[in-house]
């Protein structure tokens, strides 16, 4: 009987250790994008035991263009950005935002000679929006600058896709391509207008919409999907995606010569194709 109990305990411990190893390995593959640009710190971001993304403080601060300072005396990190000041201390779950004390559910730590800070607490303290994508293990940090711009309602008025919600999204007007969106990092490389389609090469395809303003002022929206349109996109050898936006749909159509302006609608913002 004692032998069986010992074997059972050994088995449970082995499974627990294997699970811990798997957890540690899987949580070291977190991607972090700051205003659409992926950052690659020398000590990778990871998710700690409190389910919080930890990252070297200089990585996210420098990506934002913030000023940072390390105080060896009290082991604190101070970050200044756009009129906001955030101070965190190693091993403490209290921090300050513009002098006001707040509490987080984890603590900054030293790992591999790098000060690792809780990304969400610090970024939100600096006025940024932070979003987590479980599907691809990605954290999006979106600064106040990336959230501002001319609202779509002022430029795309009359398009049925622009409402009280999407009408507040900013419109980007790059003068050339490639261009990377400031919120979720979609890169638009180039495009080609053909007789039956407008082919747009992008870094990925998540059902982005092509909005065409015709010369007569009316709009034509093209939104191919994998389910409704078998040739929606082509995956290129370099990993980019060419989306084939049809210039026809049921009884609607748009002749290439009628195109005045084109916009790509992606979540959170619109991009005018130059």
Q: What's the pLDDT at 227? A: 55
* Residue 214 within a domain: yes
Position 83 scores a pLDDT of: 96
Q: 162 and 136, same structural domain?
A: no
63 is a domain residue: yes
Asked whether residue 132 falls in the same domain as residue 35, the answer is yes
pLDDT at res. 232: 85
Q: Is residue 15 part of a domain?
A: no
Q: Are residues 86 and 198 in the same domain?
A: no
Q: What residue numbers bound the domain in which 163 lies? A: 152-272
Provide the pLDDT for residue 13. Answer: 41
Cα–Cα distances in angstroms (integers) from residue 36 to residues 3, 98, 103, 185, in the given order: 58, 27, 28, 4
Residues 119 and 188 in one domain: no
Q: What string of DSSP letters covers 6-62?
A: HHHHHHHHHHHHHHHHHHHHHTT--EEEETTEE---SS--EE-TTS-EEEEHHHHHH
Give the chain's domain count.
2
pLDDT per residue as tens digits for the range 36-48: 999 999 999 999 9
Domain final residue, candidates 95, 123, 142 = 142
Long-range CB pairs of 145-148 (<8 Å, 24+ gap) are 145/35, 145/82, 145/182, 146/35, 146/36, 146/182, 146/183, 147/183
Q: Buried (b) or exposed (e) across 21-45, using 16+ Cβ within 10 A?
A: eeeeeebeebbbbbbbeebebebbb
| pLDDT confidence of residue 179 | 97
Q: Is 181 a member of any domain?
A: yes
Residue 16 lies in a domain: no
Q: Tell me, what's the pLDDT at 5? A: 46
For tokens 């609608």, what's the residue? 265
The count of other CB atoms within 10 Å of the CB of residue 198 is 21
Q: Do residue 170 and residue 137 come from a single domain?
A: no
| Helix H or strand E encompassing 220 | strand 219-222
Of the three residues 105, 121, 142, the one that is the final residue of a domain is 142
Question: What pLDDT score does 223 carry?
Answer: 84
| 3-state class percentages of the chain: helix first, strand second, coil last, to nearest 5 | 20, 40, 40
Q: 88 in helix, strand or coil?
A: strand
Q: Which of 44, 34, 21, 91 is nearest to 66 (CA)?
A: 34
pLDDT digits (tens, 9 = 90+) for 59-68: 999 999 999 9
Is 124 found in the same domain as 183? no
Q: What is the mean pLDDT of each run of 10 residues along the chain (274 residues)?
A: 45 42 54 95 94 94 94 97 97 98 96 95 96 91 91 94 94 96 95 95 93 95 69 91 87 89 96 97
87 CB burial (10 A radius; 0-12, 13-18, 19+): buried
Position 202 in a domain: yes
Distance from C-alpha of 101 to C-alpha of 68, rounded to nearest angstrom: 19
113 located within any domain: yes
Please report whether residue 11 resides in a domain. Answer: no
């Amino acid at each position: 009987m004692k032998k069986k109990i010992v074997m059972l305990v050994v088995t449970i411990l082995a499974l627990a250790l294997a699970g811990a190893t798997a957890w540690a390995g899987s949580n070291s593959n977190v991607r972090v994008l700051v205003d659409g640009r992926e950052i690659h710190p020398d000590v990778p971001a990871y998710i700690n035991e409190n389910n919080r993304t930890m990252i070297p403080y200089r990585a996210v601060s420098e990506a934002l263009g913030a000023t940072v300072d390390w105080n060896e005396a009290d082991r604190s990190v101070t970050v200044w950005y756009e009129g906001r000041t955030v101070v965190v201390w190693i091993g403490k779950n209290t921090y300050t935002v513009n002098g006001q004390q707040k509490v987080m559910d984890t603590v900054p730590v030293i790992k591999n000679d790098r000060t690792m800070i809780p990304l969400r607490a610090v970024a939100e303290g600096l006025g940024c929006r932070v979003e987590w994508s479980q599907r691809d293990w990605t954290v999006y940090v979106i600064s106040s600058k990336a959230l501002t711009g001319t609202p779509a309602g002022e430029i795309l008025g009359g398009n049925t896709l622009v409402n009280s919600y999407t009408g507040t999204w900013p419109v980007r007007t790059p003068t050339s391509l490639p261009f990377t969106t400031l919120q979720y990092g979609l890169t638009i490389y180039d495009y080609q207008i053909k007789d039956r389609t407008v082919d747009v090469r992008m870094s990925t395809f998540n059902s982005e919409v092509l909005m065409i303003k015709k010369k007569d002022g009316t709009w034509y929206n093209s939104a191919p999907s994998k389910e409704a349109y078998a040739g929606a996109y082509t995956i290129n050898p370099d990993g980019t995606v060419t989306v084939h936006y049809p210039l026809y749909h049921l009884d609607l159509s748009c002749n290439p010569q009628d195109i005045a302006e084109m916009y790509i609608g992606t979540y959170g913002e619109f991009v005018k194709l130059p």
